[in-house]
Amino acid sequence: MGSTPQPVRGTQSLLGEEADRFHAVVAAFDRVRRLFGFKRVEVPIIEPTAVFARTIGETTDVVSKEMYSFEDRSGDSITLRPELTAGICRAFLSEGWQQHAPLKVASWGPAFRYERPQKGRFRQFHQLDAEIIGAGEAAADVEILSFGAQLLKELGISEGVTLKLNTLGDSASRDAWRARLIEHFSGADISPESRERLQKNPLRVLDSKDPRDQAAVAGAPAMQLTAEAEDFFGKVREGLDAVGVAYELDPHLVRGLDYYRHTAFEFVTDRLGAQGAVIAGGRYDGLIESLGGPHTPAIGWAAGIERLAMLSEAPEVERPVAVIVPIGDAAEAIGSRLLAELRASGIATDMAFRGNMKKRMAKADASGAVYAVIIGDSEIKAGAAQLKSLRTGEQKAVPFGDLAEALRP
């Protein structure tokens, strides 16, 4: 015998309550998606590597170190998606979805990053994703933030979660800020990694965790907004006040990639230790252009399903309404027919088909079912099963044809 194969590091297999928690998050997301009129969308798990290199940026750690990229048999470079937004934007262009703009879409599924696994972080993880593509109005920002806030309410975890909000300005504010940051950091004592990032992407220096950079980051100039960017951010905040979504301003919340504009946000919690954000997103008006498309304003967010599941209450355990307990071959044949009939009537039913009567009743009990449907020779003769309540122990004869009616809640 060879050794048992082990899972790939940073992946997980779920059964029972863990799997139920996961899908309770997905079900809540789907309810809120419909409530807000977001269309369901599905995109491939694999994309040409260029889709992510162009949108996540060649200089980021995700592209240089964390992506699962490989050459397929025809020599094309393929990547397992590290996030969902880029693939949805690629589809927006290649599938001709521009005709539907402004397009409100929602999706969920696995994403892959080769990083050190830690609590709530995996190499195959799963994300919820909501996007509004082709809408440059502040109302779209309010809509996407309201969706996030409503999802947290639906999951019963909005207590202790704070929406942090910032603006990254428009292109003019951002370009002027970038130039001032380069000037500021060029004369400061910063780490070699930050020095290397400085010309390509000075905003990433602001994100540095290196203690050598902290003093320089603390004294970095703040962004000066243009009047237009100031006005836009004002409208977003007024809109959030109008719909009753509370927020805190956080001037340190930045996005390193150049295509981000205006609103950046995170819903954060302290209930998961250092891993604070449960939903994160922003306006990415330059992303579709970076894929070679026309200028297309867009905003969206992503949320880790595993993290949301860790914060959520365990859902109700799924239990059958009834378990059929047949004794003898003839009873098993009738039991199988009844099983199919009850299921066709929409009644969740199982069958205890192993062991003696005592073992079969124990299985029915252990399943958490409300009733046992007992069939033996005398029941076959009478044409009626014994319907036993597993809660009260009461028992009565019910004709086979009337079982579905008797079991309806």
- Which DSSP string do the residues of 73-94 spell out, in sequence order? TTS-EEEE-S-SHHHHHHHHHH
3-state secondary structure of 392: coil
Cβ atoms within 10 A of the Cβ of 77, count? Answer: 12
pLDDT tens figures, 316-336:
888 999 999 999 889 999 999
pLDDT of residue 117: 62
Nearest to 165 by CA among 246, 226, 221: 246
Q: What is the SS3 string spanning 158-191?
A: CCCEEEEEEECCCHHHHHHHHHHHHHHHHCCCCC
Kindly list the domain boundaries of the chain, sorted by start residue.
17-170+226-311, 322-407
- Give 224's pLDDT tier (boundaries 50, 70, 90): confident
Q: Are strands 103-112 and 322-326 parallel, antiparallel or unpaired?
A: unpaired
Q: Are strands 371-375 and 322-326 parallel, antiparallel or unpaired?
A: parallel
CA–CA separation, 29 and 129 (whole Å):
9
**Residue 22 confidence (pLDDT) above 70:** yes
Q: Highest-confidence range of 81-85, 126-130, 165-169, 261-265, by mean pLDDT?
A: 126-130
| Phi, psi (rounded to 5 degrees) for 377 | -60, -45
**Residue 60 confidence (pLDDT) above 60:** no
CA–CA separation, 307 and 328 (whole Å):
49
CA–CA separation, 138 and 262 (whole Å):
10
In a 13 Å sphere around the CA of 281, the CA atoms on its Cβ side amount to 29
CA–CA separation, 189 and 203 (whole Å):
16
CATH of 17-170+226-311, one of 3.60.21.10, 1.20.58.390, 3.40.50.2300, 3.30.930.10: 3.30.930.10
Q: Give the predicted TM-score (pTM) of the model.
A: 0.86
**Residue 4 confidence (pLDDT) above 70:** yes
Q: Are strands 46-48 and 322-326 parallel, antiparallel or unpaired?
A: unpaired
Cα-Cα-Cα-Cα dihedral sign, residues 237, 239, 241, 247: negative
Counting DSSP H helices and E strands in the chain, the numbers are: 16, 16
- Give 8's pLDDT tier (boundaries 50, 70, 90): confident
pLDDT tens figures, 89-131:
999 999 999 999 899 999 999 999 987 766 657 899 999 999 9
Would you state the structure tokens that stand for residue 209, as one six-digit string? 């965790």
Mean pLDDT of the region 71-81: 93
Strand partners, 324: 351, 373
Would you state the structure tokens that stand for residue 336, as one six-digit string? 């199988």
Q: Is the peptide bond before 102 cis (omega within 30 degrees of 0)?
A: yes
pLDDT of residue 64: 63
- Give 272's pLDDT tier (boundaries 50, 70, 90): low
CA–CA separation, 194 and 199 (whole Å):
9
Mean pLDDT of the region 53-69: 69
Mean pLDDT of the region 161-178: 87
C-alpha distance across the termini of the chain, in Å: 51
Mean pLDDT of the region 218-228: 83
Would you state the structure tokens that stand for residue 399, as one six-digit string? 């004709």
The CA-atom distances, in angstroms, between 63 and each of 52, 85, 188 are: 7, 15, 28
pLDDT tens figures, 148-158:
999 999 999 88
Buried-state track 381-409, b at ≥16 Cβ within 10 A, e below 16: eeebbbbbebeeeeeeebebeebbeebee
Would you state the structure tokens that stand for residue 273, as one six-digit string? 């230790």
CA–CA separation, 141 and 191 (whole Å):
36
How many angstroms separate the most distant Cα atoms in the chain?
A: 96
**Residue 2 confidence (pLDDT) above 70:** no
3-state secondary structure of 315: coil
Query: Which CATH architecture best describes the domain 322-407?
Result: 3-Layer(aba) Sandwich (3.40)
pLDDT of residue 296: 93
Cβ atoms 147, 130 nearer than 8 A: yes
pLDDT of residue 96: 92
CA–CA separation, 251 and 247 (whole Å):
13
In a 13 Å sphere around the CA of 360, the CA atoms on its Cβ side amount to 22
What is residue 225's DSSP assignment? P
Would you state the structure tokens that stand for residue 170, as one six-digit string? 């428009």
Cβ atoms 280, 288 nearer than 8 A: no
Mean pLDDT of the region 371-397: 92
| Phi, psi (rounded to 5 degrees) for 152 | -65, -35
